[in-house]
Amino acid sequence: MTEILTSAQMRAIEAAAIDSGRVSGLELMERAGRGVADATFATWPELICAPGRAVVLCGPGNNGGDGYVIARLLFERGWDLRLYTLGDPARLPPDAAANAARWQACDIGSTPLDPQTPTALPEADLSIDALFGIGLTRPLPPGVAGLRLPGHRIAVDVPSGRDADAAQDLGPALPADLCVTFHREKPVHEMLKREGVKIVVADIGL
């Protein structure tokens, strides 16, 4: 039987690994980003040799940090990137801030999302939802809930707007075709499978 972890259990495992010195939070974030990129190209192999346009949505926490890693990896593969941010970048957690700085070194820039009014996203082959991770316990702001994601839609850990523990309905959530989670599935992933979302568990070395 597949082991299922709650969001609290997952955070505890990550914290224990970091506290032990076995791995840094920055390294876990890099592995997570690579896991999403690998799962994306395994799902749509036709994209490997035909870089196109990608939209990456980065949130105010460590899920957003994963998004910055993914954006950088796609950029290195020759993709045309459009990156959108939610929240004040100056208030990012340290590991996410480090990856935001690495992205800024690519000299592409980013566009802030209005939490109250949906942004019209450009056409793209891929859209990466790295806005909110497993810790979300409140409804999405209207400007996020109303986003229309273009192309193949990939959620990082869980689609933004879904409760990872499947304990409550938070209201409208962003859609996903592929959801890449880390280490183990969370309770919501079984629900997502029934809705037709492909779930991939990426090994990040925990």
Q: What is the mean pLDDT of residues 4-33?
A: 94
Whether pTM exceeds 0.85: yes
Exposed e or buried b per residue across 136-161, where buried means at least 16 C-beta atoms within 10 angstroms of its C-beta: beeebeeebbebebbbbbbbbbbbbb
Can you tell me the distance from the alpha carbon of 3 to that of 128, in angstroms, rounded to the nearest whole number? 26
- Check whether 7 is labelled as a binding-site residue: no
- Check whether 66 is labelled as a binding-site residue: yes
Predicted confidence at residue 29, as pLDDT, reads 96
In the predicted model, is pLDDT for residue 18 greater than 70? yes
- Check whether 160 is labelled as a binding-site residue: yes
- Check whether 139 is labelled as a binding-site residue: yes
In the predicted model, is pLDDT for residue 168 greater than 90? no
What band does 1 get if pLDDT is binned at 50, 70 and 90?
Answer: low
Q: What is the mean pLDDT of residues 111-123?
A: 95
- Check whether 33 is labelled as a binding-site residue: no
Q: Assign 3-class secondary structure to the chain.
A: CCCECCHHHHHHHHHHHHHHCCCCHHHHHHHHHHHHHHHHHHHCHHHCCCCCEEEEEECCCHHHHHHHHHHHHHHHCCCEEEEEECCCHHHCCHHHHHHHHHHHCCCCCCEECCCCCCCCCCCCCEEEEECCCCCCCCCCCHHHHCCCCCCEEEEECCCCCCCCCCCCCCCCCCCCCEEEEECCECCHHHHHHHCCCEEEEECCCC
Predicted confidence at residue 122, as pLDDT, reads 96
- Check whether 135 is labelled as a binding-site residue: yes
- Check whether 99 is labelled as a binding-site residue: no
How does pLDDT run across 57-106, given as a tens digit for each residue? 999 999 999 999 999 999 999 999 999 999 998 899 999 999 999 999 98
- Check whether 203 is labelled as a binding-site residue: no
What band does 133 get if pLDDT is binned at 50, 70 and 90?
Answer: confident
- Check whether 136 is labelled as a binding-site residue: yes
- Check whether 184 is labelled as a binding-site residue: no
Question: Average model confidence (pLDDT) for the chain?
Answer: 94
- Check whether 178 is labelled as a binding-site residue: no
- Check whether 65 is labelled as a binding-site residue: yes
Can you tell me the distance from the alpha carbon of 74 to that of 53, in angstroms, rounded to the nearest whole number? 9
Can you tell me the distance from the alpha carbon of 179 to that of 188, in angstroms, rounded to the nearest whole number? 11
pLDDT over 90 percentage in the chain: 88
Predicted confidence at residue 178, as pLDDT, reads 98
- The third-level CATH classification (topology) of the domain covering 23-152+159-202 is Rossmann fold (3.40.50)
Q: What is the mean pLDDT of residues 101-123?
A: 93
- Check whether 63 is labelled as a binding-site residue: yes
What band does 36 get if pLDDT is binned at 50, 70 and 90?
Answer: very high
Domain spans, the chain: 23-152+159-202
